[in-house]
A and B are shown apart, each in its own frame.
Chain A
Amino acid sequence: MDLIARLAEIFPADRLLVDDMSLVSYESDGLTVFKAKPRAVVVPENADEVIAVVRLCAAEKVPFVARGSGTSLSGGALPVQDGIVIALNRLDKILKLDHRQRIAVVEPGVVNLHVSQVAAPHGLHFAPDPSSQLICTIGGNVAFNSGGAHCLKYGMTSNHVLGLKAVLATGEVAEFGGESRESIGADLTGLFVGSEGLFGIALEVTLRLLPKAEVFHTVLVGYDTLEQAGDAVSRVVSSGLLPGAMEIMDRLAIDAAEAAVDAGYPKDAEAVLIVELEGMREQIDAEVRQLDQILADSGAKTTRVAADSEERMTIWRGRKSAFSAVGRLSPDFIVQDGVVPRSRLGEALRRIQQMGKAANIRVANVFHAGDGNLHPLILFDNAEKGAHQRAEDLAGEILRMCIEMGGSLTGEHGVGMEKREFLPEMFAADDIAMMKSVRAAFDPDSIANPGKMFPGKEAPSLALHGMHPLEREGVISRE
């Protein structure tokens, strides 16, 4: 019996997609430069169907790619040629919300923001908040250990996953962790989160919820130079304050964001810094006095403090729209995600500017200043001969710079397809060999999202450029 016939034994026709028209919408994810057509897409409605199809793939050695909303910026959900896609959006139930004990158990297709929405009436929220949270799913967050703007203080997805149940590529259903924040033995939950779909598929995820902060103090500061903005961040760090978020945008990004959402950012600032404090009222009152002094001493050109939660949202809207906004400045662009030691941010930005000038390519910069996570946006026009290659070359140079500075080739987007060739620049041969052995323990036949994370031979085809369709519509934006 052929594969499609076997799949038809598990899925009814309306949830087994094989025609070209249906398959097209699954060919790419947020890394729109690549596309690949799978043999079929299946849409399970429950965990049993997921287990059945994974077991079928294990028996027939058919590669599979699990997919949430396809917002991965590193090609994590890019289909594998000759493989199938397992679309998990219908596993979207919140199985349990225990607000008393601050736990939620959810299926992988649950949208990230939805968790915070159901927790909100109890004064709780799910801390990891990537900019795509309106549509990205918990399953995807687990696969890529997604971040957000509040990582320095509260960590990433992995720090908020207490346990999970998964079907491994071998077909075995395994449970890791549980409902407690504490555990015994090697942390298998921690190993699974961020494994980029190479181990199996999470079926149930147990999440930790936190109380929402009592008050926020959000400041938008304009500077004459990027240097000064970076310097201000250093001063905040040395002062002993631990803000919830610190973000910087450069002139190109500011202009684009203003054109798009009109958040009232300072018109002639070369850089803006957003600093957000959060906590108990009395504590924040004291911290604000300290922050005011630091910002006053930092040479700030303009300072705007959010007077209420609406203004706070406005300030954030500017930052969160930056990527899509910059994307409109140019027919095509590459979003990067490197990390450098925080104190070398200024140096890293100078070098990026120099590299961009040398390559005659515009680069806008948006970044999580608190943890050194850069997001250079490399703008180009694919219609221009050789432009895409020059942009890719520049992207590679920037990544190498991050590694050379002792940082990381990815802060939150993951390696995926996009950066797999750079993995050996960050890790030695033995380290990568160990990662492959560990992968083989979960997936001896390499059928779970093969071709991702590890350097590979086959290259996927290049496709359309520019923004993800949902980005163009303003439904999602990039972190």
Chain B
Amino acid sequence: MLEPTTSEELRDCIRDHEKVAIQGGCSKRRLVGDFAGRQLISTAKLCGVIEYKPDEYIFTAKAGTKLSEIKAMLAENGQYLPCDPPLVDEGATLGGAVAAGLNGPGSYRFGGLRDFILGVRFVDGAGRLIMGGGKVVKNAAGFDFPKLMVGSLGRLGALAELTLKVFPEPEGLSHLRLRCSNLQAAVATLNELANQPWDLDALELLPGTHELKFRLRGEPGALDDRRARIGADIDPTGGLFWDERGSLLLGKPDDYLAKIPITPDQIAAVADRFSDECVVSIAGNVAWVAGADLGEIGGLGIPALIVRGRAGETVVGPKRAAALHTALKHAFDPEERFPPAVMT
């Protein structure tokens, strides 16, 4: 295992080997792909914050920097990353978070990783260090490589440095819930809530119990009035629930864990098969399901990313293939140093 400490060393490690695979904190190791026959390169020592400018709402850090370290640094300045990527306590790194493209419940309020990434420095498959984007919150120069890298699973390039936007963290936080009589009512209520100007911080649905779980942030003094107007109850078990979301706790240890992008209209179909081992997140835009059978997950007929579980395909379900996908992979990785691309 190679452990480069700088972007240049990372580049050299990649240049020196025909087939490579990059791993970060190993909190989402299955997404690295099949690393048989590949030189494993770890970002464990490619860590550290390069620049943090609270007044500019930005920070730049090396890819192997732990999210826990970044969170703590931001919190000291009253700032945070609203998209709250998961597995912080499990050792997730900044680069791994972006490469995996998994967004936490907080993405509901202001957007996901794609809406907070500003710049990237990465090593391409030809062994060159490439910059994309910039270090300011507003930038329209050049192609948007930062966005492209979100969810690219290390198949187009090895992330070396990343610049992200941050926001001021509101002082107050409330955990709320609403119990609904059945799933249909829960989905209808979810849509109603999302259509109101309530500025909810997160909005999740549990198909098994047809409950809605959500968060409110803002001025502490205003939270209860807002809660009352929304018509929701305080959720005494909220703390535990949101911690579990952060750790992607779902199903049994051996189960496959899948991330399935959906719209609210598809909640019923997913719940039909996975009711208890399912959490619908980000106002019905993604279903997390756990199951023992990959075929059952693929059988939903919706593309699913398999984040955890025994070895096998990275994506199941219908796939979209285009000549463009091959051409793009070739542009970034002409000699196929990185594992095969995932483009849907």
> Which of B110, B143, B170, B195 has the most CB atoms of chain A within a 10 A radius of its CB?
B143
Asked if B344 is an interface residue, CB under 8 A from chain A, the answer is yes
A283 near B219 with CB under 8 A, answer yes
Is residue B85 within 8 Å, beta carbon to beta carbon, of the partner chain?
A: no
Stretch among B147-155, B204-212, B241-249, B293-301 lining the A interface: B147-155
Residues in B with CB closer than 8 Å to A434 are: 124, 128, 130, 132, 145, 331-332
In the complex, whether A151 has a CB less than 8 A from a CB of chain B is yes
- Which of chain B's residues have a CB closer than 8 A to the CB of A285? 222
User: Is B141 in contact with A415, judged by CB distance below 8 angstroms?
Assistant: yes
Cβ of B147 and Cβ of A187 under 8 Å apart?
Answer: yes
Known: A185-B152, A190-B147, A406-B135. Is A159-B142 also a contact (CB below 8 A)?
Answer: no
B270 to chain A, nearest CB (A): 12
Which residues of A have CB within 8 Å of B219? 282-283, 286-287
Q: In the complex the two chains form, is B153's CB within 8 Å of A185's CB?
A: yes
Residues in A whose Cβ lies below 8 Å from that of B305: 184-185
Query: At the interface, yes or no: B343 with Cβ under 8 Å from chain A?
Result: yes
CB-CB < 8 A to B323: which residues of A? 170, 172
For B6, the chain A residues whose CB sits under 8 A away are none
Q: Are A155 and B328 in contact (CB under 8 A)?
A: no
Q: Mark B94-115, 1 if CB is under 8 A from A, else 0.
A: 0000000101000100111011
Query: What is the distance, in angstroms, from A1's C-beta to the closest C-beta of chain B?
Result: 27
Judge if A339 is at the interface, Cβ distance under 8 Å.
yes
- Interface residues on chain B, number (Cβ under 8 Å): 87
CA distance A212 to B196 in the complex (A): 8
- Judged by a CB distance under 8 angstroms, whether B234 is at the interface is no
Interface window among B41-49, B64-72, B257-265 = B257-265
Interface string of B270-303 (1 = CB under 8 A from A): 0000000000001011100000000000000001
Chain A CB within 10 A, most for which of B78, B101, B114, B341: B114
User: Which of A110-118, A295-303, A389-397, A437-445 is the contact stretch?
Assistant: A437-445
Encoded as 1 (CB less than 8 Å from any B CB) or 0, chain A from 270 to 301 comes to 00000000011011011100000000000000
Say yes or no for A431: interface residue by CB 8 A criterion.
Answer: yes
A168 to chain B, nearest CB (A): 6
Q: Which of B196, B284, B328 has the most CB of A within 10 A?
A: B328
Q: Is residue A109 contacting chain B, with contact meaning CB distance below 8 A?
A: no
Query: Which residues of A, 138-181, contact B by the 8 Å Cβ criterion?
Result: 144-145, 147, 151-156, 158-159, 168, 170, 172, 174-175, 178-181
Q: A186-B156, A371-B136, A431-B132 are in contact. Are A415 and B149 (CB under 8 A)?
A: no
Tell me if A437 and B148 are in contact (CB < 8 A). no
Given contacts A158-B144, A426-B142, contact A186 B134 (CB under 8 A): no
The docked-state distance in angstroms from the alpha carbon of A149 to that of B131 is 27
Cα–Cα, bound, A316→B55 (Å): 26
Contact A441 B327 (CB under 8 A): yes
Instruction: Find the B residue at minimum CB distance from A194.
Output: B144
**Are B282 and A181 in contact, CB atoms less than 8 angstroms apart?**
yes
Which of chain A's residues have a CB closer than 8 A to the CB of B170? 240
**Which residue of the partner chain A has the closest CB to B102?**
A182
Contact of A101 among B107, B191, B261 (CB under 8 A): B191
Q: Taking the complex as formed, is B342 at the interface, i.e. its CB lies under 8 A from any CB of chain A? A: yes
Task: List residues of B (319-344) whose CB comes within 8 Å of A's CBs.
Answer: 320, 322-324, 327-328, 330-332, 341-344
Per-residue CB contact flags for chain A residues 77-103 toward chain B (1 = under 8 Å, else 0) read 000000000000000000000011111
CA distance A241 to B168 in the complex (A): 7
Q: Is B189 an interface residue (CB 8 A)?
A: no
Contact A412 B140 (CB under 8 A): yes
In the assembled complex, the Cα of A168 lies from the Cα of B112 at a distance in Å of 27
B148 CB, min distance to chain A CBs, angstroms = 4
With A and B bound together, what is the CA distance between A181 and B284 in angstroms?
Answer: 9
B239 within 8 A of A: no
* Closest-CB distance, B312 to chain A (whole angstroms): 15
Chain B's closest residue to A155 (CB) is B115
B322–A182 CB distance below 8 A:
no
Asked if B324 and A174 make an inter-chain contact with CB atoms under 8 angstroms apart, the answer reads yes
Minimal beta-carbon separation of B57 from chain A (angstroms) = 8
Q: Is the Cβ of B140 less than 8 Å from the Cβ of A194? A: yes
Does A407 count as interface, using CB distance less than 8 angstroms? yes
For the complex, is A408 an interface residue (Cβ under 8 Å from B)? yes
Query: Could you tell me the distance in whole angstroms from the C-beta of A326 to the nearest C-beta in chain B?
Result: 21
Please determine whether A180 and B136 come into contact, CB atoms closer than 8 angstroms.
no
With a CB–CB cut-off of 8 A, which chain A residues contact B111? 155, 159
B20 interface residue (CB < 8 Å to A)? no
Question: B264–A237 contact, CB under 8 A?
Answer: no
Do residues A145 and B144 form an inter-chain contact, with CB atoms below 8 A? yes
Q: Known contacts A188-B148, A194-B143, A411-B138; can you find 17 more A-B pairs with CB under 8 A?
A: A101-B265, A181-B285, A182-B261, A184-B151, A184-B304, A184-B344, A185-B153, A187-B114, A188-B328, A283-B199, A283-B218, A285-B222, A342-B57, A410-B139, A413-B140, A431-B142, A435-B143
* 7 pairs of residues in contact across A and B, judged by CB atoms under 8 Å: A182-B285, A339-B134, A340-B136, A341-B135, A372-B56, A411-B139, A426-B142
Which 8 pairs, one residue from A and one from B, show the smallest C-beta to C-beta distance? Answer: A190-B147, A286-B219, A441-B327, A182-B261, A282-B222, A186-B152, A240-B168, A180-B261
Give residues in B with beta carbon < 8 Å to A: 53-57, 78, 101, 103, 107, 110-112, 114-115, 124, 128-132, 134-145, 147-153, 155-156, 167-171, 191, 194-199, 218-219, 221-222, 225-226, 229, 259, 261-265, 282, 284-286, 303-305, 315, 320, 322-324, 327-328, 330-332, 341-344
